[in-house]
Amino acid sequence: MEKKLTGTLYGVGVGPGDPELITLKAVRLIRSAKVIAYPKLTGGGPSLARSIAAEHISTDKIEISIETPMLPEKFPDPNVYDRCSDVISGHLENGQDVAVLCEGDPFFYGSFIYIFERLAPKYITKVIAGVSSLGACAGAAGIPLVSGNQRFEVIPAPIGESLLEKRLMAAESVAVIKIGRHLEKVKRILFRLDLLDKAIFIERATMKNQKIKRVSDPTLKKSAYFSMILICKYNQGFQ
């Protein structure tokens, strides 16, 4: 489909949390785009994506806050992404470039995907890769994810317990993401598979309030949404 000569839509990865991990290309596009959009939890605090990039957002920008509920039964809310896509579309039609900020990388479980699905068929769209949570967590914990011919798998914690256990059993190295309220379920499975001592919990990697613990640590009782468990069956890593 031929695309109109309008503004360009950018999906900009701003990295996992440390502002120094934003790429030079992301900074350039944030500074040059007329419109900046970013996700924000409904009823929550400031947007994490915006806070990471804050020093590069000048006061003359048009800002679009995409308020998204993170309740499992409401996410992703199609109405939210329909509405924000309509707003973004209006700016693109006026010839304004729009940079949509996304924590980590836009195409690794990024909320930008839902905007991309709606607008990429109509407008010139470019995706700016960011440092992903995977690399950030591995680096923070000092754990090589894979080497040689090892296999690596990413598994979302919200899937059913039996399926999660089956996939963990078959994996060589794995990242269990979106831990949040599923921490106890994951711990039960790792105990049954005798993997507790090989599992490392990382919360808010690269941020000032970063937390790293073994999953077997009895003080590990709760988990934030921005957390991950790495299980590398054949690597030593974290001490």
Strand order in the sheet with 211-214: 152-156, 173-177, 227-232, 199-203, 211-214
The DSSP symbol for 109 reads S
pLDDT for 72 equals 56
pLDDT for 7 equals 96
* Domain limits, the chain: 9-131, 134-232
Coil/strand/helix, residue 79? helix
C-alpha separations of 22 from 34, 109, 138 in Å: 19, 18, 17
Run of H or E residues at 81: helix 78-93
Domain 134-232 sits in CATH at 3.30.950.10
pLDDT for 150 equals 86
pLDDT for 4 equals 52
CATH T-level topology, domain 9-131 = Cobalt-precorrin-4 Transmethylase; domain 1 (3.40.1010)
Rounded to the nearest 5°, which phi and psi values hold at 76? -80, 135
pLDDT for 35 equals 98
Q: Mean pLDDT, consecutive 10-residue segments, the chain of 239 residues?
A: 76 97 98 97 86 97 90 71 96 97 96 97 97 95 89 94 96 94 96 94 96 96 92 65
pLDDT for 74 equals 54
117: nearest Cα among 77, 125, 13, 74: 125
